[in-house]
Amino acid sequence: MRFGVVATDPLRITGLREILADTDAVSFPSRLVGAEMVPLSVPGILHDAELRMVLIDASCTDHLFELLETFRRMRPLVRLVVIGDSAEPEYIEKVIGAGVKGYLTQTARASEVRMALEVVSDGSIWAPRKVLSRLLDASGQFGRAASAKEVRFTSREVQILGLLVGGLANREIAKSLEIDEATVKAHLTRLMRKVGATNRIELTMKALQYDL
């Protein structure tokens, strides 16, 4: 798998490349282990079938939204992650609304970058929780949370929800609970059906509303 990067700061490119290189099969999904990061200036890379995600440093362009529109037009299936210097919810919502699947601030820790890449590669959206909550509320996907009387959780489900809210990946949850990753995925699938969530991000946000 190839990750494209739009950045002019050599330190930014080096840092992102090192974050990817410093992953392993235990802490990161196997499909991302060994992933290659290449500058979008490489001839033909935008049309490379293995290009699955593009990381964009917003500070390198004064025309971010025009750039996002170009990606949506030329490679609509490529997932975009923006690294920006603004933490304002309104700005982040605007970026997500332009088709971006992930937003990170420039002060994000390496662990946050890895988690964002995992979540976006799974087809979900990564953004600050306050922004996610507002987006879900605005789209009507985030209805009233059921009470504990309406939805009952097993002790194992409570453990998994707690670790999920804590930001752990499936592999990390499995390791923490000493169970198989497939078992974690099965629990998450049942939990999403139980609370009416469509992905792990929405499940995380719903979990925060339950009094567990």
Comma-separated ranges of CATH 1.10.10.10 domains in the chain: 145-207
Residue 101: how many CB atoms within 10 A of its CB?
A: 20
**Is the distance from CB of 157 to CB of 191 less than 8 angstroms?**
yes
pTM greater than 0.95: no
Q: What confidence score (pLDDT) does residue 210 get?
A: 66
Q: Which has more confidence, 5 or 135?
A: 5
- Percent of the chain at pLDDT > 70 equals 84
pLDDT at 29: 46
Q: What is the pLDDT of residues 2-37, one digit of tens each?
A: 888 888 888 888 888 887 776 554 444 445 566 778
Mean pLDDT of the 135-146 span: 52
Segment among 119-128, 139-148, 156-165, 170-179 with least mean pLDDT:
139-148
pLDDT digits 0-9 by tens, 182-209: 889 888 988 988 888 887 777 887 777 7
For 2-138, which CATH class? Answer: alpha beta
Whole-number pLDDT of residue 80: 94
Highest mean pLDDT among 109-118, 127-136, 170-179: 170-179
- Could you tell me if 7 and 57 are in contact, meaning their C-beta atoms sit under 8 angstroms apart? yes
CATH number of 145-207: 1.10.10.10
Q: Return the HEC string of the chain.
A: CEEEEECCCHHHHHHHHHHHHCCCCCCCCHHHCCCEEEECCCCCHHHCCCEEEEEEEHHHCCCHHHHHHHHHHHCCCCEEEEEECCCCHHHHHHHHHCCCCEEEECCCCHHHHHHHHHHHHCCCCECCHHHHHHHHHHHCCCCCCCCCCCCCCCHHHHHHHHHHHCCCCHHHHHHHHCCCHHHHHHHHHHHHHHHCCCCHHHHHHHHCCCCC
For residue 143, what pLDDT band results from cuts at 50, 70 and 90?
A: very low
pLDDT confidence tier of residue 95, bands split at 50, 70 and 90: very high
| Ranges in the chain annotated CATH 3.40.50.2300 | 2-138
